[in-house]
Amino acid sequence: MLIDAIAMCFLQRKAWGIALLAVRENDKLCLQTRFAKGHPMTYCMIRSAVLGALAISIAFTPRLASGQQRASGALPDWSGVWQMVGPTVFDTSTVEPPNGRAGDPGVRERPPYNDEWEARYRKNVDSIQKGVFPDPVNLCGTPHGFPRVLNLPDVYEFVVRPEQVWIIGENGPNILRIYTDGRKHPAPEDLWPTYTGDSVGHWENDTLVVDTISAKGAIDGDVIVDRTGLILSEAMHVVTRMKKVDDSTIEAQIVIEDSKALKSPWRVTKRYRRLPADTRVYDYSCAENNRNPVTPSGRTLTLGPDGKPIDRVVD
Amino acid sequence: MIFKRVVFAGLFLVAAGTLCGSSLLGHHAATMFDTTKVIEITAKVKELQWTNPHIWIQIEVQNADGVRQEWSIEGGGPNSLSRQGWRPTTFKPGETVTLRINPMRDGTNAGLFVGVKFSDGKTLGRWDAQP
């Protein structure tokens, strides 16, 4: 008997050991049991029958459970260039005033903050009113962070691969990597807060379910959610469900839990519309000609062509 | 050629929100600009800086005293503007244009682009944002 495949598992029950060996014998696939005591027993099927049964099993599997990578042919088509719908206010459903835009003095949203974080947000709104609330991305070089990466100006690409999904922002540097190969989040001792955090995902039919932790939040004041002054803590745990709701629209339903900042989950929906097929994506280099540096007090300056501030007050 | 600043900020108060220009800015807040006001200026183009994170239109404006001054007009990013039909050649050095802008809050010589009318009558941006 030719045995050229070795196997797989070993079961221990009381004093009895059972070894299961997958073997190939000529054109047959066999399962061989070997007990600690007694003779091996072999059960064989012809290979075509085994492969046929396997194909039927795959074809009729309704969905993949979390922890399994999906084959490329079974993935949805999210190709093209996409643009977020609406202004870069994170939660347009709760913004005040209703037509307010991020960065306009006095504009705010209503996440379910606890008292401490409501006070911190209120302070940011007041700083915007005074013109001394810096946007960290003015520093030219740091990513926008999470979940702001879902709230970018300019355009997006959504690259769907079996093992990862990449959300690529033209305005950047902003790339959100979502591992869909079945891996879990690293152990707590192997995690540290980063701008975009750690994201793992799985597919439920054509919905990508993304679990994000370990985002930097408002640590060091260098990550905000949008220019209304929204902030979250590094304790945020975000579950995002993304799907194409029609051929020209991808929708992200975002549920944010934050044990430090929020009293209850904060649910936000963002939509992205497909741009014409010939749309190109370009370089974005914030440092190319940044004429709006930030002073130590948080004031954003306007530089003239000679590189000197035009503003009357420079700090 | 004489360039005349045709209108002044105080004459053109408009409602906040309807003319807000902050949506143009992807890189920083527009708090240095008074987005509740639109002023119209006729000027000579000196240079278009077609750069990230924002484009800048450098113009020469003659003030009420007849003194020619350089102004800096900030616009959106070149990537988004290109998808709205802009090109690096959209503003040609030496040509005369009429611009509508949100002025600086402190009254200095800069502003946020709102709209433009070229000498051939074509417009770009929100030219319907009346001063």
Each residue's pLDDT expressed in tens, for chain A with a length of 315 residues: 333 333 333 333 333 333 334 444 444 444 444 444 444 444 444 444 444 444 444 444 444 555 678 888 889 999 999 999 999 999 999 999 998 989 888 999 999 999 999 999 999 999 999 889 988 888 888 999 999 999 999 999 999 999 999 999 999 889 999 999 999 999 999 999 999 999 999 999 999 999 999 999 998 788 999 999 999 999 999 999 999 999 999 999 999 999 999 999 999 999 999 999 999 999 999 999 999 998 888 888 999 999 999 998 877
* Chain A residues within an 8 Å CB radius of B30: 103-104
Is the confidence at residue B23, as pLDDT, over 50? Answer: no
Q: Identify all chain B residues contacting A137, using CB atoms and an 8 Å cutoff.
A: 27-28
Q: CA-to-CA distance for A169 and A150, rounded, in angstroms?
A: 9
Task: Kindly state the tokens that stand for A114.
Answer: 């606890």
Q: Are A247 and A239 in contact (CB under 8 A)?
A: no
Nearest CB neighbour to B79, from listed A88, A282, A292: A282
Distance CA A297, CA A315 (A): 6
Phi then psi for A127, rounded to 5 degrees? Answer: -65, -35
Strands (E), chain B: 39-49, 56-62, 68-74, 96-103, 110-117, 123-125
- CA gap A254, A267 in Å, rounded: 6
In single-letter form, the type of residue at position A93 comes to S
Q: Which domain holds residue B118?
A: 9-125
Of B32, B58, B77, the CB nearest to A154: B77
- Chain A residues whose CB is inside 8 A of the B20 CB are 101, 104
Identity of the residue numbered A42? T
Cα–Cα distance, A168 to A185 (Å, whole number) = 21
| Residue ranges per structural domain of chain A | 9-60, 82-274
**Residue recorded with tokens 């639109």:** B38
- Which one is predicted more confidently, B10 or A246? A246
CA distance A166 to A82: 13
All residues of chain B having their beta carbon less than 8 Å from the beta carbon of residue A155 are: 79, 83
Assigned token pair, A259: 């044990």
Of the candidates A140, A154, A289, the beta carbon closest to that of B80 is on A154
Domain at B16, CATH number: 2.40.50.140
pLDDT at residue B24, as a whole number:
59
Give CA–CA dist A256/A284, Å, rounded.
29
Cβ atoms within 10 A of the Cβ of A114, count? 14
Which residue, chain included where needed, has tokens 């047959």? A28
Q: What is the dihedral of CA A208, A214, A215, A218, to 10 degrees?
A: 150
Torsion of CA A252, A198, A80, A242, to 10 degrees: -20
- What residues of B are in contact with residue A298 (Cβ under 8 Å)? none
Beta strand A236-246 with A249-258 is: antiparallel
Q: In Å, how far are A206, A238, B51 from A160, measured between CA atoms?
A: 11, 20, 31
Q: Tell me which of B10 and B124 has the higher pLDDT.
A: B124
Partner residues linked to A260 by β-bridges: none
Q: Is A40 left (phi over 0), alpha (psi -120 to 50) or beta?
A: beta
The candidate with the shortest Cα–Cα distance to B74, out of B96, B44, B53, B95, is B53
- Rounded percentage of chain B residues whose pLDDT exceeds 70: 79
Residues of A in contact with B17 (CB under 8 A): 97, 99-100, 104
Joined together, the tokens standing for residue A94 give 């709760």
Residue numbers in A near B110 (CB within 8 A)? 302, 304, 310
Query: Do residue A153 and residue B53 have CB atoms under 8 angstroms apart?
Result: no
Q: How far away is chain B from the Cα of A191, in angstroms, using its nearest Cα?
A: 30
Contact B52 A131 (CB under 8 A): no
Closest CA to B80 of B16, B34, B17, B27: B27
Residue B59: closest CA among chain A residues belongs to which residue? A305
Distance CA(A93)–CA(A52), nearest Å, equals 52
Which of A101, A290, A310 is the closest to B108 by Cβ?
Answer: A310
Residue B17 in domain: yes
Name the token pair of B25.
């800015």
Backbone φ/ψ region at B49: left (φ over 0), alpha (ψ -120 to 50), beta: beta
Mutate to test the interface with B, among A84, A104, A295 (most CBs of B within 10 A): A104
Angstroms from A236 CA to nearest CA on chain B: 25
Is B25 among the domain residues?
yes
pLDDT at A32: 47
Residue B128 has pLDDT above 80, yes or no: yes
What's the domain count of chain B?
1
A309: nearest CA in chain B?
B108
Note whether residue B2 is domain-resident. Answer: no
Least confident window among A17-26, A112-121, B20-29, B42-51: A17-26
pLDDT value at position B131? 74
> If residue B37 lies in a helix (H) or strand (E), which one and from where to where?
none
In 3D space, the residue among B41, B48, B59, B40 whose CA is nearest the CA of residue B92 turns out to be B48
Residue whose tokens read 């399962």: A31
> What does the pLDDT read at residue B113?
97
In a domain, B131, yes or no: no
Choose the mutation target among A310, A312, A314 for the interface with B, i.e. most B CBs under 10 Å: A310
**A6-10, A87-91, B28-32, B115-119, range with the lowest pLDDT:** A6-10
Please report whether residue B1 resides in a domain.
Answer: no
Cβ–Cβ below 8 Å for A154 and B26: yes
Query: Are the Cβ atoms of A289 and B80 closer than 8 angstroms?
Result: no
What is the distance between the alpha carbons of residues A236 and B90, in angstroms, rounded to a whole number? 45
pTM: 0.78
Dist CA B79 CA B83 (whole Å): 7
